[in-house]
């Protein structure tokens, strides 16, 4: 039985309640997904519950870069730079179709964050620590060379630039492929199941009381140990466990805006100074769009409803227009946006931008282990650290030993690919199989989203007889994601599985009726649920593309 088929949910719900697990993980973002894979690959019996959709928290709202720690180098945290630098290459190797090697440009400007000498030296050390080789090594460019690469940059304050290697991914897809790989190793992972309270035996956590948010049924999962990987919600669960003492989270909101590539025809991901303050922004070209981010402001609102407001959009537009003066982007150009929360560990006297991005593990007297902070880039190492702790506790408390594992060798679902050349070759093969009326970028989109699973989608597509190829393809994607990726709602599909809400919003209108009609058939929705799903899609589109000033 495929445990990630949304159609098999009743059986998985039954199975999760009828056994004792070694480890229950709360939270299905990248941190929980990475932990589930590491634990399952060590032979532990693992269950993971996520209260909304997988990756619906911070893990679908990042800048989507698997990047080393240039900022850590500025703070002389050499060990961390080495760790994240090496991680980039490992995660790329595990899924080269999804974690794409991209060249990055850092223009140097008068009065900017980084000077010429320090950037040259910094990037050299960065390459050395991260073991970057060959053509990927950093190159320092003159002002003229930078302008040749990126003619849209502002020439008057430009002094030169650094050109170096980083990686771009889709955070939600990376989370999903980790969940799927964990399930292949025996984990049971359920979305829309909320952990409501802990169960204790002799003062130690021995299970979790949950609610299935799709059926409103209560359930209990029994286990030896519980890890909370709930990102911005970590303190809430520590509070339920009555162990919220000492260090706490500080939530910082980060917004990105998306504009059509034709309005901002950027060639390379660019990391540039914002002249009006001391921060830096990313502008990232991605297929038909370019996205710009991010803001970094303290957040105290509702963690379940975080959206970009007009102040965020104004700040990003002002920043990007001041470094790329000819593009003159306005709010009208903003096609979509997203806003996420960084779960930072609070440090007295520092503002959001200055606080460390390091992860932190909290362990309570009841045995609850919580992890927060960190980066998408470091998820595999964070999982390793958690599992070392979990294994130690298994030995001490339950006298059970589990073998070590090496997740650096576990290829993620969607692969295997030898390297980026192999991915390119595969994209060409897929392109030849697609109907001529589908745009050329579709093969690239499909392969970066699904890797070799694209073949299953194309097989499904052949059975849909819609006149419009785009509709047949979307329906095939839906069938694949319902059967293999626990899609239960319209937004699971349009946001986390396909990225359409952010990166191809205009593509939603022509296919939405077909998608919602199929979903209704898969799940036998009544009219009330149908109307609710339609409304949720319209609200999500409205909130991603229209902005208001926050009430003062």
Question: Which residues of the shown chain bind ligand FAD in the complex (CB under 6 A)?
Answer: 26-32, 49-52, 56-59, 61-65, 67, 194-195, 229-233, 254, 294, 340-342, 374-377
In the complex, minimum distance from the CB of residue 195 to ligand FAD, in angstroms, rounded to a whole number: 4
Contacts of 366 (CB under 8 A, 6+ apart): 198, 200, 203, 204, 205, 241, 242, 243
Contacts of 218 (CB under 8 A, 6+ apart): 209, 210, 211, 212
Q: Compare residues 112 and 293 and give the one whose CB is closer to ligand FAD.
A: 293
In the complex, minimum distance from the CB of residue 63 to ligand FAD, in angstroms, rounded to a whole number: 3
| Cα–Cα distance for residue pair 60/538, rounded to 1 Å | 19
CB 96 within 8 A of CB 415: yes
Q: Compare residues 49 and 140 and give the one whose CB is closer to ligand FAD.
A: 49
Q: Compare residues 269 and 454 and give the one whose CB is closer to ligand FAD.
A: 269
**Per-residue tokens: 61:** 């709202």
In the complex, minimum distance from the CB of residue 334 to ligand FAD, in angstroms, rounded to a whole number: 16
CA dihedral 202→207→212→216, nearest 10 degrees, is -10
In the complex, minimum distance from the CB of residue 271 to ligand FAD, in angstroms, rounded to a whole number: 11
Decide the pairing of beta strands 20-26 and 46-49.
parallel
For 151, the 3-state DSSP assignment is coil
Nearest to 473 by CA among 428, 443, 509: 443
Long-range contact list for 436-443, CB < 8 A, 24+ apart?
437/469, 438/469, 438/470, 438/473, 441/287, 441/288, 442/473
In the complex, minimum distance from the CB of residue 286 to ligand FAD, in angstroms, rounded to a whole number: 13
Q: Compare residues 375 and 479 and give the one whose CB is closer to ligand FAD.
A: 375
Q: Compare residues 122 and 373 and give the one whose CB is closer to ligand FAD.
A: 373
**Per-residue tokens: 243:** 């162990």
In the complex, minimum distance from the CB of residue 109 to ligand FAD, in angstroms, rounded to a whole number: 22
In the complex, minimum distance from the CB of residue 281 to ligand FAD, in angstroms, rounded to a whole number: 11
In the complex, minimum distance from the CB of residue 127 to ligand FAD, in angstroms, rounded to a whole number: 19
Q: Compare residues 235 and 444 and give the one whose CB is closer to ligand FAD.
A: 235
CB 207 within 8 A of CB 220: yes
Q: Compare residues 56 and 454 and give the one whose CB is closer to ligand FAD.
A: 56
Question: What are the beta bridge partners of residue 209?
Answer: 197, 220
Q: Compare residues 49 and 104 and give the one whose CB is closer to ligand FAD.
A: 49
């Amino acid at each position: 039985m495929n445990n990630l088929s949304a159609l098999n949910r009743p059986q998985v719900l039954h199975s999760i309640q009828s056994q004792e697990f070694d480890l229950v993980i709360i939270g299905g973002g990248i941190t929980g997904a990475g932990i589930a894979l590491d634990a399952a690959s060590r032979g532990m019996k693992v269950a993971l519950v996520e209260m909304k959709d997988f990756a619906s928290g911070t893990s679908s709202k990042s800048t989507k870069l698997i990047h080393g720690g240039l900022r850590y180098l500025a703070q002389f945290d050499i060990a961390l730079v080495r760790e994240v630098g090496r991680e980039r290459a490992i995660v790329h190797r595990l899924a080269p179709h999804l974690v794409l090697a991209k060249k990055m440009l850092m223009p140097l400007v008068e009065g900017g964050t980084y000077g010429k000498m320090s950037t040259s030296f910094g990037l050299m050390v960065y390459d050395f620590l991260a073991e970057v080789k060959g053509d990927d090594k950093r190159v320092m460019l003159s002002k003229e060379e930078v302008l040749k690469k990126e003619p849209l940059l502002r020439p008057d304050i430009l002094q030169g630039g650094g050109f170096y290697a980083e990686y771009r991914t889709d955070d939600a897809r990376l989370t999903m492929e980790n969940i799927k790989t964990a399930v292949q190793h025996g984990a049971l992972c359920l979305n829309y199941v909320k952990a409501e309270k802990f169960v204790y035996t002799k003062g130690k956590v021995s299970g979790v009381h949950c609610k299935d948010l799709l059926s409103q049924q209560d359930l209990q999962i029994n286990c030896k140990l519980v890890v909370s990987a709930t990102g911005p919600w970590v303190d809430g669960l520590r509070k339920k466990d009555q162990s919220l003492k000492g260090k706490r989270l500080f939530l910082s909101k980060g917004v990105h805006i998306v504009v059509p590539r034709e309005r901002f025809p950027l060639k390379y991901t660019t990391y540039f100074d914002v002249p009006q303050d001391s921060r830096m922004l990313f502008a990232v070209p991605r297929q038909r769009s370019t996205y710009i981010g991010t803001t970094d402001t303290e957040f105290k609102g509702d963690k379940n409803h975080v959206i970009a407001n007009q102040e965020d959009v104004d700040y990003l537009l002002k920043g990007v227009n001041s470094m790329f003066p000819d593009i003159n982007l306005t709010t009208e150009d903003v096609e979509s946006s997203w806003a996420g929360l960084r779960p930072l560990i609070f440090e007295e006297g520092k503002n959001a931008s200055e606080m460390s991005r390091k992860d932190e593990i909290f362990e309570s007297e009841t045995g609850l282990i919580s992890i927060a902070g960190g980066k998408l880039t470091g998820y595999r190492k964070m999982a390793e650290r958690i599992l070392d702790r979990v294994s130690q506790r298994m030995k001490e408390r339950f006298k059970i030993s589990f073998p070590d594992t090496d997740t650096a060798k576990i290829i993620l679902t969607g692969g295997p690919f030898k390297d980026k050349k192999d991915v390119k070759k595969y994209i060409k093969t897929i392109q030849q199989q697609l109907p001529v009326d589908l745009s050329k970028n579709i093969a690239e989109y499909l392969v970066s989203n699904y890797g070799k699973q694209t073949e299953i989608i194309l097989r499904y597509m052949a059975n849909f007889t819609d006149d419009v190829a785009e509709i047949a393809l979307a329906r095939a994607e839906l069938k694949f994601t319902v059967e293999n990726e626990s899609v239960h709602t319209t937004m699971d599909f349009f946001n986390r599985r396909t990225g359409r809400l952010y990166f191809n919003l205009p593509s939603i209108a022509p296919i939405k009726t077909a998608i919602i009609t199929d979903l209704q058939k898969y799940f036998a929705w009544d009219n009330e649920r149908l109307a609710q799903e339609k409304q949720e899609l319209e609200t999500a589109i409205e909130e991603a593309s229209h902005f208001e000033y926050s009430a003062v």
